[in-house]
Amino acid sequence: MFGTFLLLFSVILFTPFLPDGADYNDIENLDDYMEEKF
């Protein structure tokens, strides 16, 4: 559970530094998957 929180925190932390494009879309898809899983 801590690993999941750490992953989510790292995504939120590094999102502003990523360029606009496929990388950001992949992160959004990962967030949607995480929300559906929990």
pLDDT at 18: 55
21: left (phi over 0), alpha (psi -120 to 50) or beta: left
Domain ranges of the chain: 1-36
Residues 6+ apart with CB under 8 A from 5: none
pLDDT at 9: 82
Instruction: Please tell me the pTM assigned to this model.
Output: 0.34
pLDDT tens digits, 1-38: 778 888 888 877 766 655 555 555 565 666 665 565 55
pLDDT at 3: 80
pLDDT at 20: 55
